[in-house]
Chains A and B, each alone.
Chain A
């Protein structure tokens, strides 16, 4: 398992890096607009009307962005949690903990893709 994890590290790290980028850059703007701007009335009410948002989200680019926005931060979370665990003295159990975390990220990714496809 240790060997497999090492071999997969470039992919995992890439997804993790993507998660950081998406999480810090896109997600912040997303929350600012949808979570704060809309309820505070700073965004015109009809800008986020269901039909409009649905049309945007179900376009090809919209689907890709949505899938990335949901899935990548899961990888970031899984990888970060793994490293926090190692840093707290859990290096011995890494071969057990890491697969569980990454399987959760894989499950989330599959669900995200399924949800985006059915949009």
Chain B
């Protein structure tokens, strides 16, 4: 651990600080470290008051997202060697900060819930009727959009989220779209109405930033833009087809 790197980390203690401040730490780093390893080193060895979220350390739980050198980054996935000798670490942009690098998730969770991310059936199937079967091809239809780990990097990168906080946003739209594409689901019309409502999918101006930063290659921008087309088709068919009770 001969190499040293300097970390400029945003700190904020709501009980003491009026505004976020920056603290600098120079630490020895291991060539194999990820960004998260450096943060953990700082917390364990230098300053135990540093707050940041992490859990799985293998790009699965989605809790370690932060702005690293100004870019939304999954810190347990990104190698430290990809950065220079000075690295800035800030909390995810477009979210209220709770403390240091920890952001508030409530608004995001509400958006997630708003798209009804579960299988909706017009009529529940009785247990005796057996399970819903799905072919490999039907699974492939939506599989990519189900790989999201809710890391929120896309919300941090999205210029529309920054300007219009009510925008449902990339991950939640991708999730709703994932259920709309699921052969077992019958709730597409309900979700399309949500997609056309407040914070609509049409707010997206296709900057594609969400897909650029997505660590799981979900391609939320594709989902959002497919969702736009489906929301329009659903709206147009509403004039010709009378739908049953919703």
CB distance from B207 to the nearest CB of A (A): 9
- When C-beta atoms are compared, the residue in chain B nearest to A88 turns out to be B163
Docked complex Cα distance between A9 and B205 (Å): 13
* Contact, CB under 8 Å: A6 / B205: no
Q: Closest 6 interchain pairs by CB?
A: A10-B235, A9-B202, A83-B205, A10-B232, A13-B202, A91-B163
Q: Which of A10, A83, A89 contacts B236 (CB 8 A)?
A: A10
CB distance from A119 to the nearest CB of B (A): 30
Query: Tally of A-B residue pairs with Cβ under 8 A?
Result: 28
* Contact, CB under 8 Å: A13 / B228: yes
A87 within 8 A of B: yes
A86 to chain B: which residues have CB within 8 Å?
163-164
* Contact, CB under 8 Å: B231 / A10: yes
A110 within 8 A of B: no
* Contact, CB under 8 Å: B164 / A91: yes
* Contact, CB under 8 Å: A9 / B196: yes
User: How many residues of chain A are within 8 Å of chain B by beta carbon?
Assistant: 11
B159 within 8 A of A: yes
Q: A18-35 interface mask toward B, CB cutoff 8 Å, 1 = contact, 0 = none?
A: 000000000000000000
A95 within 8 A of B: no
Interface size class of B (residues with CB under 8 A): 10 to 19
A12 to chain B: which residues have CB within 8 Å?
202
Docked complex Cα distance between A83 and B164 (Å): 11
B160 to chain A: which residues have CB within 8 Å?
87
* Contact, CB under 8 Å: A87 / B163: yes
- When C-beta atoms are compared, the residue in chain B nearest to A84 turns out to be B205
Quick one: which of B150-165 are within 8 Å of A by CB? Answer: 159-160, 163-164
A53 within 8 A of B: no
A14 within 8 A of B: yes
* Contact, CB under 8 Å: A89 / B163: yes
B198 within 8 A of A: yes
Q: A75-94 interface mask toward B, CB cutoff 8 Å, 1 = contact, 0 = none?
A: 00000000100110101000
Q: Which of A13, A87, A89 contacts B232 (CB 8 A)?
A: A13
CB distance from A5 to the nearest CB of B (A): 10
Quick one: which of B203-234 are within 8 Å of A by CB? Answer: 205, 228, 231-232
Sample 22 A-B pairs with CB under 8 A, ordered by A number: A6-B196, A6-B197, A6-B198, A6-B200, A9-B196, A9-B200, A9-B202, A10-B196, A10-B202, A10-B231, A10-B232, A10-B236, A12-B202, A13-B202, A13-B228, A14-B232, A83-B205, A86-B163, A86-B164, A87-B160, A87-B205, A91-B164
